[in-house]
């Protein structure tokens, strides 16, 4: 069975500082992994996804994530936080080795950006 664990339900950084949101996964099949962002009362926006190609994945708004099989991790980073990055972030794994299966989401991490 597939699952994801996001370490830290709340992360606070200063504007301009590095953003690091942690995600560890468990998967019985080669994993397809995703990071989504959700702003209040809105749906999900895909930041990036890992689909078994390059292990370092670049997404929108300067976000990137690195797939590390040995650590079963897919942490999300951004070099310099902006105020507009304050939102809820979800890591997810597909239930099959594709990007079109049902997704199992982590608990979410709230990112706060301080001026």
Partner 1 sequence: GAVVSQHPSWVICKSGTSVKIECRSLDFQATTMFWYRQFPKQSLMLMATSNEGSKATYEQGVEKDKFLINHASLTLSTLTVTSAHPEDSSFYICSAVGWTTNVREQYFGPGTRLTVT
- Give the footprint of partner 1 on this chain (CB under 8 A): 36, 41-46, 90, 98-100, 102-108
Minimum CB distance to partner 1 smaller for 15 or for 95: 95
For the bound state, the minimum distance from the C-beta of residue 103 to partner 1, rounded and expressed in Å, comes to 7
Minimum CB distance to partner 1 smaller for 59 or for 108: 108
For the bound state, the minimum distance from the C-beta of residue 22 to partner 1, rounded and expressed in Å, comes to 15
For the bound state, the minimum distance from the C-beta of residue 107 to partner 1, rounded and expressed in Å, comes to 5
For the bound state, the minimum distance from the C-beta of residue 86 to partner 1, rounded and expressed in Å, comes to 15
Contact between 77 and 19 (Cβ < 8 Å): yes
- What's the Rg (C-alpha) of the chain? 13
Per-position b or e across 59-94, b if 16+ CB within 10 A of its CB: beeebbbebeeeeebbbbebeebeeebbbbbbbbbb
Minimum CB distance to partner 1 smaller for 6 or for 73: 6
CA pair distance 18, 46, nearest whole angstrom: 20
CA pair distance 7, 73, nearest whole angstrom: 11
Minimum CB distance to partner 1 smaller for 26 or for 42: 42
């Amino acid at each position: 069975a597939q699952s994801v664990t996001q370490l830290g339900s709340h992360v606070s950084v200063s504007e301009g500082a590095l953003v690091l949101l942690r995600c560890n996964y468990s998967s019985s099949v080669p994993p397809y992994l995703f990071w989504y962002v959700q702003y209040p009362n809105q749906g999900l926006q895909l930041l990036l996804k890992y689909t078994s190609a390059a292990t370092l994945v670049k997404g929108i708004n300067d976000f990137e994530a690195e797939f590390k099989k040995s650590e079963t991790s897919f942490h999300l980073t951004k070099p310099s936080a902006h105020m507009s990055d304050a939102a809820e972030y979800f890591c997810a794994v597909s239930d099959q080795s594709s990007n079109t299966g049902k997704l199992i989401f982590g608990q979410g991490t709230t990112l706060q950006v301080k001026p």
